[in-house]
Amino acid sequence: MVISVGDESLCKISSIKRCFIILLASPLIVGVLFFMLKTQIQVDVFHGVVKNEDIRNDQSYDVERTTSIIEISSTSQEILPPERGLSDEGSNVVDEEKKVITPANNTETTAVILLTYMRSGSSLTGDILQKSPDTFYIFEPLRSADFANREKKTVRYINGSYLLHGQYDLQHVYEETLYGWLTCDLSRVHAQSFFDIGFLPYAHNFHDYLRCIRGAKYGNLMTRNALYESKQFMDCLKELEQTCKSSKVKIVKTIRTHGAIAQSIFKSIPNSKILHLIRDPRATMESKRHRNVCHEGMTLCIAEHCDRVRKDSLVLQNLKSSEPNRISTVFYEDIASNPIVTAKDMYSFIGTNFTEKIASYVYNITLGMDTTGCKVCVQRWQNGKKAKSSETHIAAWKSGLPGTYINQTQVLCKDIIKNYGYEFYMAPPALKPSKSQQMLGRRKKAIRRRV
């Protein structure tokens, strides 16, 4: 008998059964080894870089597209010389001594929080908004802080200061980071946010920056502090800050911002706005279940989701009553079924021009089923490569979410469904009807047909 893998002698002396097990197990072992090797490649060199497995837990990551931070050192031969000249331009200068970037002071800019929830269509919505040349877009900048906290890691800042786990309040780190990005004051952004190379590429305006940090030569500066303090990194960051400051509208898309934090930002940044993206909770739950992100079980997952939406809605509705032009609610279903009109409204809300070209793009990536140029649309955790009209997402939960969960969502999220004007749905019973019931049903239908 020929067995090329495994221990041959073991195979011979033992029973055929044992041999069979080895045969079956060997591809598995090879697979596990390969997987281990693959994860090893994505080593977390700097604490700021998010590991593969975490990202997979986040269910919002495409492993194939990962570029590890290691590339920074391994590709250091192809050095892009840091662009010079920016440091002479007055107000946007990094203070070389303190390495603190002076805060932005442009009151003509608008800061927008796209506040939403996991599996609620925010990637698509954010991509629509970043199509305006006037926007500076940041995709989930709080994720790296969330992961640092979950791994009990230190939170760092580019001035070299850091807070050990236990010394920081995550909500405060979130707020500072939001404030920092929305005002282009990068000294307030936790430093790991600048290295979230899994997510930063989903914003067009980060492409030059990413090229810059990949090209920069860090030499042997393999410690985080040395990296943050390196001139190359600071030069890249300076350019990024310049891009941020020259943009009319700053937009942060976030699923980790609670209403209370948003409210605090809203009050501290004069021209700030909040765009609250709402999706039918039954559709969100169907999508979460499909993506397998409800680790605590569906019931708790439904309750938690709706609890957050409920709390946020209260805070935002309250703010809206005093500042109606600075708070807006948008429904994912409207974006999916009526993308051009809805996108136009969103553009008008954030104060950017909605051009023919943008309208064409919006149509293409939604109803037009052509995702060219939308990097985030084609990710596995979004639509993947399959072309599907955005309209097909709207009612998919009716067939995709088991009736028990539809019913549970309708009970636990009753007020949300009602307040946002979604229709209640009579979910079919869980169990297959018995033969006699089926007969009865058929007879009833036949009678109806005759009438």
Ligand X SMILES: *[C@@H]1O[C@H](CO)[C@@H](O)[C@H](O)[C@H]1NC(C)=O
**Among positions 87, 268, 353, 438, the unique one binding ligand X when judged by CB under 6 A:** 353
Decide whether 14 or 355 has the Cβ nearer to ligand X. 355
Nearer to ligand X, 117 or 195 (CB): 195
Say if CB 49 and CB 195 are below 8 A apart: yes
Figure out which of the listed residues 62, 151, 229, 370 binds ligand X, where binding follows CB under 6 A: 370
Helices within 247-297 (DSSP H only) = 259-268, 281-291
Q: Does 361 bind ligand X (CB under 6 A)?
A: yes
Shortest separation between residue 178's beta carbon and ligand X, angstroms: 13
Question: What is the sign of the dihedral through the CA atoms of 228, 229, 231 and 236?
Answer: positive
Per CB under 6 A, the segment of 225-233, 263-271, 311-319, 364-372 that binds ligand X is 364-372
In total, the chain counts a number of residues equal to 451
Q: Is 238 exposed, middle or buried (0-12, 13-18, 19+ CB in 10 A)?
A: buried
C-beta of 51 vs 375, nearer to ligand X: 375
Q: Which of 229, 226, 203 is nearest to 45 (CA)?
A: 226
Contact 142, 178 (CB under 8 A): yes
Residues between 384 and 413 with contacts to ligand X, criterion CB under 6 A: 403-404, 407
Number of residues that bind ligand X (CB under 6 A): 25
User: Which tokens go with 331?
Assistant: 């429904």
Nearer to ligand X, 117 or 397 (CB): 397
The residues pairing with 275 across neighbouring beta strands, listed in sequence order, are 114, 328
Question: Of 306 and 406, which CB lies nearer to ligand X in the complex structure?
Answer: 406
Nearest to 4 by CA among 27, 28, 37, 32: 27
Any contact of residue 345 with ligand X (CB under 6 A)? Answer: no
Shortest Cβ 25–ligand X spacing (Å) = 40
Asked if residue 106 binds ligand X (CB under 6 A), the reply is no
Return the residues of window 129-188 that contact ligand X according to CB under 6 A.
Answer: 134, 157, 159, 161, 187-188
Output the residue with the shortest Cβ distance to ligand X. Answer: 403
Contacts of 240 (CB under 8 A, 6+ apart): 186, 206, 208, 209, 212
Please identify, among the stretches 9-17, 44-52, 277-285, 424-432, the one whose residues bind ligand X according to the rule CB under 6 A: 424-432
Both tokens assigned to 69: 């931070």
**Helical segments of 292-355, H only:** 298-322, 332-337, 339-350
Q: Which residues pair with 139 in a beta bridge?
A: 253
**Smallest gap from residue 377 Cβ to ligand X (A):** 12
Instruction: Name the one residue in this structure whose structure tokens are 């020259």.
Output: 246
Closest to ligand X by CB, 50 vs 358, is: 358
For residue 337, count other CB atoms closer than 10 A to its CB: 17
CA separation for the pair 62, 58 (Å, rounded): 11
Which CB atom, from 122 or from 187, has the smaller least distance to ligand X? 187
Among 21, 75, 103, 165, binds ligand X (CB under 6 A): 103
Question: Which 3 state secondary structure label does DSSP give 139?
Answer: strand
Please identify which residue in 14, 105, 223, 389 interacts with ligand X, judged by CB under 6 A. Answer: 105
Give yes or no for residue 348 binding ligand X (CB under 6 A): no
Question: Closest distance between ligand X and the C-beta of residue 106, in Å?
Answer: 9
Angle, vertex CA 314, rays to CA 350 and CA 258, nearest 5:
70
Beta-bridge partners for 94: 101
Q: Does 228 bind ligand X (CB under 6 A)?
A: no
Q: Measured from the CB of residue 82, what is the shortest distance to ligand X in angstroms? A: 23
Closest approach, Cβ 268 to ligand X, in A, equals 14
Q: Which of 87, 360, 437, 438 binds ligand X (CB under 6 A)?
A: 360
Among candidate residues 354, 363, 377, the one with its CA nearest the CA of residue 132: 354
* Positions in the binding site for ligand X (CB under 6 A): 102-103, 105, 134, 157, 159, 161, 187-188, 353, 357, 360-361, 364, 368, 370, 372-373, 403-404, 407, 426-427, 429-430
